[in-house]
Amino acid sequence: MAILERFGDIIRANINDMLDKMEDPAIMIDQYLIDLLDDLAEVKRSTAEIMGEETRTKRLVDNNKAEVEKYAELAKKALMAGNEGDARTFLAKKQELENLDPELMDVYAAAHENAMKMRQMHDKLAADIQTLQARRTMIKSKVSIAKTQAIINEASSSANQTEDAMDAFTRMEEKADRMLDEANALAELNIEPIDPAEALEEKYGDGGNASVDEELTKLKQELGLQ
């Protein structure tokens, strides 16, 4: 039957495998649950229909058996009443109905097997939905935690990059300090050195001052100030 072929994989379905294929379980879990509920509703309708067919074929089998027993009793009553011809008619009808019994039993057996399969699939799907509903909050919580962890990982990566940048700036600052120290040292080396002897000569020498004193004394003498 088409319905059995369509839902044949449901009985073999594994929810964990299906969840593994989801790109984002937090987003797809609701849609997946909706799809399952739609499937369950269709399976439920089909199961009820097939179970109804099982009941109908079982009723045909029971009714046929009841008819066989009825004509057997009528044949007995006809014989007891001395009507052999009527008894023969009843027995012919009884045999006709008995010949239908194997075919009716085959139809019922097929309907019963189909009903069992559909009920099994219905129960499996219903159980899977209950499991998924029970795990729905947990799955979404795990996805939320995973997303938060991803944000933390990204922030941690950015922090590491900032630390690397700080190290680079520190190295550049140290290099700049070395360059400044070297420049200052070079400037100091470029200053012309002072001759120690000349410095001492200025300290202890009196040549310039003596000439002035002599000229002042001479000027006083000329003016009669001495």
Q: Tens digit of pLDDT for each residue in 119-142? A: 888 888 888 888 877 777 777 777
Q: Is the dihedral of CA 118, 121, 127, 131 positive or negative?
A: negative
Query: CA 118 to CA 106: how far, in whole Å?
Result: 18
Cα angle for residues 26, 28, 33 (degrees, 5° grid): 105
Q: Could you tell me which residues come within 8 angstroms of residue 107 by beta carbon, excluding any fewer than 6 positions away?
A: 57, 60
Tell me the pTM.
Answer: 0.49
Quick check: is 32 in a domain? yes
Largest CA distance in the chain: 206
Is 204 within a domain?
Answer: no
Q: Quick check: is 22 in a domain?
A: yes
pLDDT for 177 equals: 76
**Which DSSP category does 225 fall into?**
-
pLDDT value for 5: 53
Q: Residue 18: its pLDDT value, please?
A: 56
Residues of the chain with pLDDT under 50: 1, 11, 208
Q: Is 224 left (phi over 0), alpha (psi -120 to 50) or beta?
A: left
Residues 6 or more apart in contact with residue 22 via CB below 8 angstroms:
28, 29, 32
Residue 41 lies in a domain: yes
The reply to whether 123 falls in a domain is yes
Residue 102 located in a structural domain: yes
Number of domains in the chain: 1
Is 179 inside a domain boundary? no
198 is a domain residue: no
Residue 105's pLDDT is: 95
Q: Could you tell me the residue range of the domain that residue 25 belongs to?
A: 2-162
